[in-house]
């Protein structure tokens, strides 16, 4: 969560499980964030502020990575 405020528009953070077969991607937009969920569920979500993003991200992490204690985080251009 510490890296999210420093994202520039068009950059993203990829959160992957240890096996790297499930993904939650946070993409910085001009007016908020887009979250892509690729794993057990294939859904896209929108968040307008950091508070909403934090709440949504905690729900998605617990849903996509229920038993994972180690996550890979990659910062890249979207």
- Please state, in angstroms and rounded to a whole number, the distance separating the CA atoms of residues 31 and 40: 28
Strands 32-38 and 23-29: antiparallel
* pLDDT tens sequence for the chain (78 residues): 789 999 999 999 999 999 999 999 999 999 999 999 999 999 999 999 999 999 999 999 999 999 888 999 999 998
| Predicted TM-score of the model (pTM) | 0.91
**How many Å apart are CA 17 and CA 9, to the nearest integer?**
25
- Predicted confidence at residue 65, as pLDDT, reads 92
The reported pLDDT for the residue numbered 64 is: 92
Identify the pLDDT of residue 76.
Answer: 94
């Amino acid at each position: 969560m510490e890296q999210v405020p420093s994202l520039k528009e068009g950059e993203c953070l990829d959160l992957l499980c240890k096996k790297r077969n499930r993904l939650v991607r946070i993409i910085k937009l001009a007016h908020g964030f887009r979250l892509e969920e690729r794993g057990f569920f294939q859904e896209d979500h929108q968040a307008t502020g950091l508070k909403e993003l934090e709440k949504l991200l905690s729900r998605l992490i617990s849903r996509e990575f229920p038993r994972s204690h180690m996550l890979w985080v990659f910062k890249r251009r979207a």
